[in-house]
Amino acid sequence: MAVYRILEEHEPSLREKAKPVPKITPNVLKLLDNLAETMYSAGGVGLAAPQIGVPKRVFVADIGDQLYELINPVFLRLSEEAASENEGCLSVPEKYGLVTRPLSVVLEGQNRLGETVTIATEGYLARVFQHESDHLNGILFTDIADAVYLRDYEDDDEDNEDEDDDDMSGGADMPGDIGEDRL
């Protein structure tokens, strides 16, 4: 396993549409391992292959409950009900922004064994899945955000945002301020 450099906003590779994975080879398994190690090393909660310069439809996510590894993920359902929350991104470290997304999703993909997995979820994990899927299509949250803000690191000590209210129902794992997390 290895920790990779995470590409940043201005790098063109982030804008490419990633290609489906036709077959789960040892290289794909290595990619999953490297994505997870890089995500954990960076303190992120999600990471898509294009973010480490690999244009394949693969991402990992872990919001604290378990590691999700998805190959060729597609949404079978996106709810009409939407929520607006702050998001950050490992590839856009200086910014965060308010993004409106469907509240609940059904995602289908393959796991590392090549088995089809279907995950129905809502709240924070549903948002992370959508953010990572956007990366597979060359989309960054800054493209679709209602508002984008610069992070003010100097104020971090003064702001206690841990108790921020959020209006997402069912998001038991949702931290106080999603803008603090990077995906």
Distance (Å) of CA 48 to CA 3, 39, 56, 73, 141: 14, 9, 9, 11, 13
Nearer to Zn ion, 24 or 183 (CB): 183
How would you classify the pairing of strands 104-110 and 116-122?
Answer: antiparallel
Residue 132 annotated among the catalytic residues of the structure: yes
Task: Please tell me the distance from the alpha carbon of residue 18 to that of residue 47, in angstroms, as a whole number.
Answer: 14
* Closest distance to Zn ion from the beta carbon of 18 (Å): 13
Nearer to Zn ion, 83 or 129 (CB): 129
Nearer to Zn ion, 122 or 132 (CB): 132
Catalytic entry in 87, 132, 154, 158? 132
Closest CA to 87 of 30, 128, 37, 43: 128
Q: Which residues are at the interface with Zn ion (CB under 5 A)?
A: 89, 183
Q: Which residue is nearest to Zn ion (CB)?
A: 89
Nearer to Zn ion, 32 or 47 (CB): 47
Helix (H) or strand (E) holding 131: helix 124-136
* Closest distance to Zn ion from the beta carbon of 70 (Å): 15
Distance (Å) of CA 147 to CA 46, 81, 98, 100, 141: 21, 20, 5, 10, 10
Helix (H) or strand (E) holding 31: helix 26-42
Please give the positions annotated as active site: 132
